[in-house]
Structure 1
Amino acid sequence: MSSTAQLDQQLEEKIILVDTSDRQIGTAEKLQVHRDGLLHRAFSIFVLNSQGQLLLQRRAKHKYHSGGLWTNTCCSHPRNEETTLLAAHRRLQEEMGFDCDLKELFSFVYRAELDNDLIEYEFDHVFVGYSDREPILNPDEADDWKWIDLQVLQTDIREHSEAYTYWLRDCCDRFIAAL
């Protein structure tokens, strides 16, 4: 399947619409959700190594939004009738080529206007995992990765916020405080 066909299939995938208490109220196609700014369920995974460094990925440049920006280890949306935890394990394997134990730390809601006239309005469940494995990137999802010290990341986000995704900038401090 070509990259274009895979992107079309991903954008047609249905994701879970929720209310502000994370109760499911329906489903809709991913692209429609982001065009209309509908609140939907999502997750963000932060994997730390034994030195306490965070595994970042740089989103593939051709992604439908936020392409080329650095972000947390993995993020995505659960499918209808899929638990958020199972979806997190599935996407970690699909995007980064490995899996590890994950624990939910907290959740938060954010809304951001992104590039390509898209809106990200998510009820985001934040998971932490621990691994020293090097990722095997899925080039449809990410085109680079690195381990970074958490304090270095906080400073770099303050000094170069345009290099990072909105959701990472929004929850980095909360993530560090929750550890």
Structure 2
Amino acid sequence: MSTQTSTYADLVHSLEQDDILEKFPEVIPLNNRPNTHSTESSGETDNLLDGYDEEQIRLMNENCIVLDWNDTAIGAGTKKLCHLMENINQGLLHRAFSVFLFDSDGKLLLQQRATEKITFADLWTNTCCSHPLCVDDELGLNGSLESKIEGARTAAVRKLEHELGIPPQEVESKGEFHFLNRIHYMAPSDGAWGEHEIDYIFIYQLRKGETLTVEPSTNEVRDIAWVSQEELKQMFADGNLKFTPWFKLICDNYLFQWWNQLNDLNKVENDTKIHRMM
């Protein structure tokens, strides 16, 4: 880890609840949160969002879960607030999830993010990556890791439908989620935007003989591909293809090991450690 990133990690580590709420007054403390998926826009013109897709601008009002270093929820912060690099550079951190969905033959579903996306547009990535929202059923109300995992899983089912058109009843009946671990990383996107997340990593496996309805939203997903390990490695070798930073981090450190253990994930799932990659 370089001195620069160590300094940043030290900054994030030093921020306690009161520091976060003082430094970022737009964060709504946990006890006062609206418990709604989104905060209504003020209607004021926002130059930072000029020219972006209307639906993607609307989604920037979603209420993410603002965290401290230990993955403790501090309050609700809008997606816009949490993804501005000026806030990330000051240590603002939020919770996320990433799903790696495998069919019964061991092929992984990838998506290429839509051109309309405000962050990391047009990049290839894992099946679905988004954020639990600061609402009761996605927050992990009692603060235990188990409840936070369940909240992230609930968010994953919601977003698999929103982004890829996969019906929740199919997700619940045709396969199984496995929680692997949590990674903590920071990555700039374009210009004003970036990511700084504690990311809950899930593998979802379809049972033998089962298939899913996949009907991607064109506002969220530009393309999809079902790939084998070898096909994914060939994609990485293609200089014309670009990938999200979290996807590359997970692939470089874990994915191919997990892929080889799909028949028995017991030895690699339910890791309670937060893996710092910054």
TM-score, length of structure 2 as denominator length: 0.59
Higher relative contact order (CA closer than 8 Å, sequence separation 6+): 1
Q: Name the CA distance, whole Å, in 2 between partners of 1:134 and 1:147.
A: 14
Q: Equivalent residue for 2:192?
A: 117
Q: Name the CA distance, whole Å, in 2 between partners of 1:145 and 1:134.
A: 13
Opposite residue 239 of structure 2, the aligned amino acid is H
1:177 matched to 2:257? The reply is: yes
- 3-state secondary structure, aligned to 1:112: strand
**Deviations for 1:102-160, whole angstroms, at most 9, x for unmatched residues?**
22111111111111321211100011112333510011210210111123313532553
Alignment of 1:29-108 (within 5 A): 29-35=78-84, 36-37=87-88, 38-80=92-134, 81=136, 82=138, 83-98=151-166, 99=168, 100=171, 101-108=176-183
The answer to whether the 8 Å contact 1:56/1:71 transfers is yes
1:18 matched to 2:105? The reply is: no
Q: More strand by proportion, 1 or 2?
A: 1
Q: Name the CA distance, whole Å, in 1 between partners of 2:238 and 2:54.
A: 37
The alpha-carbon distance between structure 1 residues 129 and 26, as it changes in their structure 2 partners (threshold 3 A), is same
Opposite residue 131 of structure 2, the aligned amino acid is H
**Deviations for 1:7-57, whole angstroms, at most 9, x for unmatched residues?**
222101110011222111122111111112121100000001122111001
Q: Name the CA distance, whole Å, in 2 between partners of 1:152 and 1:21.
A: 37
Opposite residue 73 of structure 2, the aligned amino acid is Q
CA RMSD of aligned residues (A): 1.9
The answer to whether the 8 Å contact 1:161/1:169 transfers is no
- 3-state secondary structure, aligned to 1:163: coil
Unaligned stretches of 5+ residues in structure 2: 1-51, 139-150, 262-278
Q: Equivalent residue for 1:164?
A: 243
Q: Name the CA distance, whole Å, in 1 between partners of 2:116 and 2:158.
A: 22
Q: Name the CA distance, whole Å, in 2 between partners of 1:156 and 1:4.
A: 28
The answer to whether the 8 Å contact 1:79/1:87 transfers is yes
- 3-state secondary structure, aligned to 2:231: helix
The answer to whether the 8 Å contact 1:154/1:172 transfers is no
Q: Name the CA distance, whole Å, in 2 between partners of 1:162 and 1:113.
A: 18
Point out 4+ residue stretches in structure 1 off by more than 4 angstroms.
none
| Higher mean C-alpha displacement, 149-158 vs 123-132 | 149-158
The answer to whether the 8 Å contact 2:53/2:116 transfers is no
Opposite residue 78 of structure 2, the aligned amino acid is E
Q: Name the CA distance, whole Å, in 2 between partners of 1:5 and 1:104.
A: 34
